Amino acid sequence: MNHTLTQKLSFAQIKKDLSPTALTAAFVAILAGYGGPLAIVIQAAQAGALTPEQTTSMLWALCVTFGLAGFVLSWTTRVPIITAWSTPGAAFLITSLVGVPYPQAIAAFIVASLVIFMIAMSGTFDAVMNRIPKSIAAALLAGILFNFGIKTFTSLGSNTALTLIMLGTYLIGKRFFARYAVLAVLIVGCVYVFGVQGHAVPHVPLHLAVPVFTMPEFTLSSVLNIGLPLALITLTGQQITGIAVLRSSGYDAAAAPAKPLVGLTSFLALITAPFGNFGINLAAITAAICTEKESHPDHAKRYIAGLWCGVFSIILGCFAGVLVTFFLGLPTELITILAGLALLGAILTGLSNAMSTHTQPSEREAALVTFMTCASGVTLFQLGSAFWAIVFGCLAYFVLNYKKKHD
């Protein structure tokens, strides 16, 4: 099945292709995509000391742009293109935004999206991705996320009951209803803190989001500490995975070429970065929900799920303030535990790919150096651990492989 970007799609054809299963798949994908990852975005905003208005603007920019990107790309390609914010990127920001003035963070967001956009439009996306050692990229991702997974278990000492209940719900959910496990954790956690611990339920008035523009302030420190690592994380941790999901679902390069997919998502992130957009990309887990036969028995009609996902995301973006108000009203420990559990799968994937038995021992050693450096949280010369993890990891990779080739 080879669809081209120039193929016209009429409203009559969309109406004909509509199906309840595609609508259901899109709704499930949205629930899975917002249940846990939203807590990570909120934590990143809190780490950067953003005001509620700036946090709302950030969520508005993210939701509206990835909703628009998914809708347009699904329409033009007739492929279920699902987009999302960069969850590993958001997790990375939880530590990297601490103490950074927001205008400098905005500048870093611009640089990250610009780098991705330039790679996409140059037509060298696949070539560049193949040049980056996959084990190094995977170890960097695992190192960034590691400390957030740890926080779930350190919460055992301060709020034992809540941690055990949420952890137990997560394990049971992964066993019996894996797609909804994190959403179930959020629901059970809320029931416990509001119903048993007696926390006040946050008042959430219905209102439209108001975007807040922030003038960027470019500094070398923010570019090296945030911008470049964020670009690498988004490219290797999200865009490649999203492309892989499409390919494994039968949508080849002719049906869903990487250049327009990565190009449009990074361009929309670039122009909305001053409003707080730190990066959008192709989705993986939520995309898998919409690209399989459960979405629609006809492979050629699953694009409808992509259209619905886009519509739902744009609507949620317009009411981003409601989501922000609700999550800011939740106890901090609940958000911390939820975020940690939501990232366990990504940590596992990162470690598995970094230490795969299919790679050479020297490559695994370089990945270990990358992981340990990043997880350490070290800061040298005002440059954070993610930057030094890339430097030391790549240095170890080339030294170890050079030695091997010349022995």
> pTM for the full model?
0.78
For residue range 366-401, what is the model confidence (pLDDT) as tens digits? 999 999 998 888 877 767 787 888 889 889 988 888
Asked whether the beta carbons of 221 and 382 are under 8 A apart, the reply is yes
Q: Is 281 helix (H, G, I), strand (E, B) or coil?
A: strand
For residue range 141-164, what is the model confidence (pLDDT) as tens digits? 788 778 778 888 888 888 899 999
Tell me the average pLDDT across 221-228.
92
Range with top average pLDDT, 146-155, 211-220, 294-303, 369-378: 211-220
For residue range 59-113, what is the model confidence (pLDDT) as tens digits? 999 999 999 999 999 999 999 999 999 888 898 898 899 999 999 999 999 999 9
Which positions ≥6 away from 142 have C-beta within 8 Å?
347, 350, 351, 354, 371, 374
Distance CA 104, CA 219 (A): 7
For residue range 69-83, what is the model confidence (pLDDT) as tens digits? 999 999 999 999 999
Distance CA 262, CA 122 (A): 11
Per-residue pLDDT at 252 exceeds 80? no
